[in-house]
Amino acid sequence: MIYADVVIDITSGELDRSFSYRVPAEWEEKIGVGMTVTVPFGKGNRPRRGYVTGLSDKTDYEEQRVKSILTVDSSAETTEANLLKVAAWIRETYGSTVIRSLRTVFPVREKMKIREKKRIVLKADPEEAEQLLGELQKGRGKARARLLGAVLESEEKEIDYAYASKELGTTDSVLRYFRENGILLVDSEESYRLPFRIEDIPQEKPALLNDEQKAAVSEIRSEWDGDQSRPVLIHGVTGSGKTEVYMTLIQDMLDRGKQVIVLIPEISLTYQTVRRFVGRFGSKVSILNSRLSRGERYDRFVQAKKGEISVMVGPRSALFTPFTNLGLIIIDEEHEAAYKSESTPRYHARETAVFRAELEGAHVVLGSATPSLEAYSRALSGEYRLVRLTERHEGRPLPDVYVTDLREELKKGNRSILSRRLRDEMEDRLGKHEQIMLFLNRRGYAGFVSCRECGHVIKCPHCDVSLSQHMGGRLVCHYCGYETQAPKVCPECGSSYISGFKAGTQQAEQVISKFFPEARILRMDSDTTRTKGSYEAILSSFAAHEADILIGTQMIVKGHDFPAVTLVGILAADLSLNASDFRSAERTFQLLTQAVGRAGRGVRTGSAVLQTYCPSHYSIQTAARQDYEAFYREEMAYRSLMDYPPAAHLLVVHASCQNEEKLTQGMYYAARFCTKLSAAYQIRTIGPAPEQISKVKDMYRQALYLKGKDDAALKTLRKHLEDYIAINPGFRDIYMQYDHY
């Protein structure tokens, strides 16, 4: 006897589970995961359509009460069957509910009524918004905090306008506040579209590949022709022409009648990038972005399924484009954090792409100048094929990088945000009418405390990550929960210049216009990009040399190509280094390398000035030398020592609850449960500890960390924990999410 798990209707979140049905004997041979079936449902046994999500030879329910499947649609298309397997794999790998995984993979056609509703949408960088949320929670802006918290918590980073005003008490003045600081945006359909028309983009002839690019392409083709066809990682320095290589590979696929998915981080989906793909492949290309309404996204997916388009370019969710003859998935800037979903299921696009490609006999190509440690370690072990691009096109040199020590500047009495070196270099470039980009690294900046005299940062003695400052001056570790009072003087050098680091792009702009009153300055941050199209407008104005200096946050470092930029200044390289996250050194190295890589992409050689309080840190040193290999070795040693991924596996159990006491108690028992089992599985339980943002939308948040070398053991432990939580009434009001690294 065979039983099938059937999910009834994925358009409603209510039936968040699968049901067990008996498979009639005549179907036993033919039925498969992913097929559409009709089953009797509910008291009246009304026939309903459902998806088969699993098959087994036993059922957890009383045999007599299990109903039989009525009909099986064996013609169910393989695309859907494959995507369903992807959903099942996501659920299995990352931990989630059936419905949520299905809804991640299958875009649901919403009713027109819903499409026209007004929505409140996140406009700013999520990390920047989270930081503001932390500040709002400390102050009196309760209604503001409630709204921002709700948006950040939501899966799509947007919530319904009517819901906000009814349930969250969002008033016009709250909305005005967020509109003015550019964090949120109220909108209906209109602003979800790209700020330019694809039809207006002129066609372009393919570029002639240089020798190194040709070699890369033929290496990749030979990998594809081999019997293994592993995922390929292209490690190419900034400006080496990875995009040209991608386009040649895409053409290969189109020639064979196959389809291609190209994932690009949302922030790099600018006119420049879109233009290159559309210019080359014309109307075969479709662009997805998260600003599309669900209806529009659905329509594009329908076009893809019908074969009206062959190349889908878009962020993470484009991975689920229902192409029927998928040949290749490209993931550009593979290291980007945006490829990991921040809401349940917390899938990673890279891992999911490899799974989908295997299922459909497609290839995967990853590219980055600064590969993630995960991808690079796999490339070194032979699980991926490594292909290198070591030179910029036409042998243009990488920029010269100067590191300046801000502690020394302070000692010499220079308290401004510009070191002497950077000021001199700027003066020189302005004199030559060349362009300058100034980058203020605020990513992941999370209220760490450091000394301006000696650069010392207060860290957790157990986890080697920075402590974050909380209310009343307490410093907290977000991994293990360790707490201490913020010191009044630096424990290293006794200086009283010890405090949280504060810096903004606006302040930077003021200072710089004082130093260089003649210079034309553009600023790009969440303030200046709040209106529709303003992001594009700033970029194109700078590209047209209508300004000499562009100051901005991480927004400006992503993939832009400004040939006249010959100087990049990084105002405070360390800010992201001190995020309380085990990946902070990796993120810093990536950001700095990418930022430095903006300089000298044209005919003139570029240089970069990197200002820092810790010039000897390996992230800074290796980024200054543009030496990925050296960085990788140092960072892997650290990960191995601390048992952080990819040296070990990590499962984060996120829990939230309205009742703090209940949460604390629940997490205490969850931790105890894990600790008991962990010895047998060789897993270490750390925490529970309050999360970075310890309260959102009146929900308290805590996390528990489980580290282990054996991924399967960690997954088994997760399942035991899931079962334990499901039957234990103490967890009833606690919302659990799992995050697998």
Binding site for Zn ion (CB under 5 A): 451, 453-454, 456, 460, 462-463, 477, 479-480, 482, 490, 492-493, 495
DSSP β-ladder status, 326-332 and 259-263: parallel
Nearest approach in angstroms of CB 394 to ligand ADP is 8
Q: In this chain, which stretch among 93-101, 206-214, 465-473, 588-596 interacts with ligand ADP, using CB under 6 A? A: 206-214
109, 305, 393, 545: residue in contact with ligand ADP (rule CB under 6 A): 393
Nearest approach in angstroms of CB 664 to Zn ion is 18
Give yes or no for residue 370 binding ligand ADP (CB under 6 A): no
| Nearer to ligand ADP (CB atom), residue 240 or residue 270 | 240
| Nearer to Zn ion (CB atom), residue 237 or residue 674 | 674
Q: In this chain, which stretch among 195-203, 207-215, 547-555, 730-738 interacts with ligand ADP, using CB under 6 A? A: 207-215
| Nearer to ligand ADP (CB atom), residue 54 or residue 602 | 602
Question: Do the Cβ atoms of 645 and 652 come closer than 8 Å?
Answer: no
Give yes or no for residue 210 binding ligand ADP (CB under 6 A): yes
CB under 8 Å to 421, separation ≥6 — which residues?
402, 404, 609
Give yes or no for residue 600 binding ligand ADP (CB under 6 A): no
Give yes or no for residue 273 binding ligand ADP (CB under 6 A): no
DSSP 601-616: -SSS--EEEEEES-TT
Amino acid at residue number 129: A
726 binds, among Zn ion, ligand ADP, none (CB under 5 to 8 A by kind): none
| Nearer to ligand ADP (CB atom), residue 77 or residue 204 | 204
480 binds, among ligand ADP, Zn ion, none (CB under 5 to 8 A by kind): Zn ion
Cα dihedral: 291, 295, 297, 299 (round 10)? -140
521 binds, among Zn ion, ligand ADP, none (CB under 5 to 8 A by kind): none
| Binders of ligand ADP in range 230-259 (CB under 6 A) | 236, 238-244
Amino acid at residue number 734: I
Nearest approach in angstroms of CB 625 to ligand ADP is 18
Q: Rounded to whole angstroms, how far apart are CA atoms 303 and 286?
A: 9
Q: Taken in order 219, 225, 228, 231, is the CA torsion positive or negative? A: positive
Q: Rounded to whole angstroms, how far apart are CA atoms 239 and 369?
A: 9
Give yes or no for residue 561 binding ligand ADP (CB under 6 A): yes
Nearest approach in angstroms of CB 535 to ligand ADP is 19
490 binds, among Zn ion, ligand ADP, none (CB under 5 to 8 A by kind): Zn ion
Show the binding pattern over residues 520-559: x = contacts ligand ADP (CB under 6 A), - = does not.
Answer: ----------------------------------------
238 binds, among Zn ion, ligand ADP, none (CB under 5 to 8 A by kind): ligand ADP
Maximum distance among all Cα pairs of the chain, rounded to whole angstroms: 86
| Nearer to ligand ADP (CB atom), residue 365 or residue 571 | 365
Nearest approach in angstroms of CB 240 to ligand ADP is 4
Helix (H, G, I), strand (E, B) or coil at 325: coil
Nearest approach in angstroms of CB 434 to ligand ADP is 17
- Give the N- to C-terminal CA distance of the chain in Å, as an integer: 37
Q: Rounded to whole angstroms, how far apart are CA atoms 395 and 50?
A: 58
| Nearer to ligand ADP (CB atom), residue 246 or residue 644 | 246
Amino acid at residue number 170: T
Residue facing ligand ADP at closest CB distance: 241
Nearest approach in angstroms of CB 391 to ligand ADP is 10
Instruction: Give Cα 445 distance to the centre of its chain.
Output: 16
Q: How many residues does the chain have?
A: 741
DSSP β-ladder status, 468-469 and 435-439: unpaired
Give yes or no for residue 209 binding ligand ADP (CB under 6 A): yes
Using DSSP, how many helices (H) and how many strands (E) does the chain show? Answer: 22, 30
CB under 8 Å to 193, separation ≥6 — which residues?
291, 292, 296
Nearest approach in angstroms of CB 590 to ligand ADP is 13
Nearest approach in angstroms of CB 557 to ligand ADP is 12
272-307 burial, b for 16+ CB within 10 Å, e for fewer? bbbbbbbbbbeebbbbbbbbbbebbbbebbeebbee
* 602 CB-side CA count, 13 A: 12
Question: Do the Cβ atoms of 575 and 539 come closer than 8 Å?
Answer: no
Nearest approach in angstroms of CB 367 to ligand ADP is 7
| Nearer to Zn ion (CB atom), residue 142 or residue 462 | 462
- Please, which residues bridge with residue 39 across strands? 48
667 binds, among Zn ion, ligand ADP, none (CB under 5 to 8 A by kind): none
| Nearer to ligand ADP (CB atom), residue 240 or residue 553 | 240
Q: Rounded to whole angstroms, how far apart are CA atoms 574 and 615?
A: 9
Question: Do the Cβ atoms of 619 and 587 come closer than 8 Å?
Answer: no
Q: Rounded to whole angstroms, how far apart are CA atoms 289 and 276?
A: 16
Show the binding pattern over residues 672-711: x = contacts ligand ADP (CB under 6 A), - = does not.
Answer: ----------------------------------------
Nearest approach in angstroms of CB 243 to ligand ADP is 3
587 binds, among Zn ion, ligand ADP, none (CB under 5 to 8 A by kind): none
| Nearer to Zn ion (CB atom), residue 296 or residue 492 | 492
82, 213, 352, 576: residue in contact with ligand ADP (rule CB under 6 A): 213
Q: Rounded to whole angstroms, how far apart are CA atoms 524 and 453?
A: 30
| # residues contacting ligand ADP (CB under 6 A) | 15
| Nearer to ligand ADP (CB atom), residue 236 or residue 552 | 236
Nearest approach in angstroms of CB 594 to Zn ion is 29
Question: Do the Cβ atoms of 403 and 624 come closer than 8 Å?
Answer: yes
Helix (H, G, I), strand (E, B) or coil at 664: helix
207 binds, among ligand ADP, Zn ion, none (CB under 5 to 8 A by kind): ligand ADP
Q: Rounded to whole angstroms, how far apart are CA atoms 404 and 402?
A: 6
239 binds, among ligand ADP, Zn ion, none (CB under 5 to 8 A by kind): ligand ADP
Nearest approach in angstroms of CB 242 to ligand ADP is 4
Q: Rounded to whole angstroms, how far apart are CA atoms 653 and 37?
A: 35
The CA distances from residue 182 to 30, 132, 536, in Å, are 55, 12, 15
The CA distances from residue 686 to 477, 652, 689, 734, in Å, are 11, 10, 8, 19
Residues that bind ligand ADP (CB under 6 A): 207-210, 213, 236, 238-244, 393, 561
